[in-house]
Structure 1
Amino acid sequence: MYKNPAYQGMQVQGDRVEITIGETGGGLVVKGPEVKEVLIAGEDRVFYPARVKIKESRIVVSSKEVKKPVAVRYQYSNSGVGNLFGKSGLPVAPFRTDGWEVPL
């Protein structure tokens, strides 16, 4: 049985967040010049587009606008098309690290 790579956990390290992704089949790859659809927020709950670096089965997420990050979202929109894949060839499942209510 095949499983999509999925969010497992996060660790804040200063102004960056390290996200661990499980079921990657040996690591992560990006299809394109950079990972798309990644947002990061601080305690003010305002999300900004993030810079992403891949480290094996982890991604390191940061933004100049967020000095003390607390949340990350990947492909968290109705029209988002992610381009982050496991080496297994399956796409990383959309995820969010926060449980904040979305205003209507």
Structure 2
Amino acid sequence: MEKINDITEFEQLLEAKEPFFLLKHSTTCPISAAAFDEYAAFLNAAGTSQKGVYLAVQDSRELSNYIAEASKIRHESPQVIFFKDGKPEWNESHWKITKDNLSSIQ
């Protein structure tokens, strides 16, 4: 799992057109901490080859706002967005961010 911090890094991910998951994470929220653990468990599961990145909302507010605007998905935290072919395909937030829910996305 890789942390991204700026718009350039996000744009490079989109331009690659490879599928990836992005977690918007709050470093001060217990719900976000639980979502982060579920996200990490999903990415670290045996047989999972999914690419996953995250950003800390407190550290990268400009990037978080940019993603909300570019994807046309209202910002929430925690929030996971799955991108495929450079476009958002799925998103979920809060307690719905679970290893099982993430595993169901192709």
TM-score under structure 1 length normalisation: 0.25
**By percentage of residues, which structure has more strand?**
1
If you compute each CA radius of gyration, which structure gives the higher value, 1 or 2?
1
Task: Between the two structures, name the one with larger relative contact order (CA 8 Å, sep ≥ 6).
Answer: 2
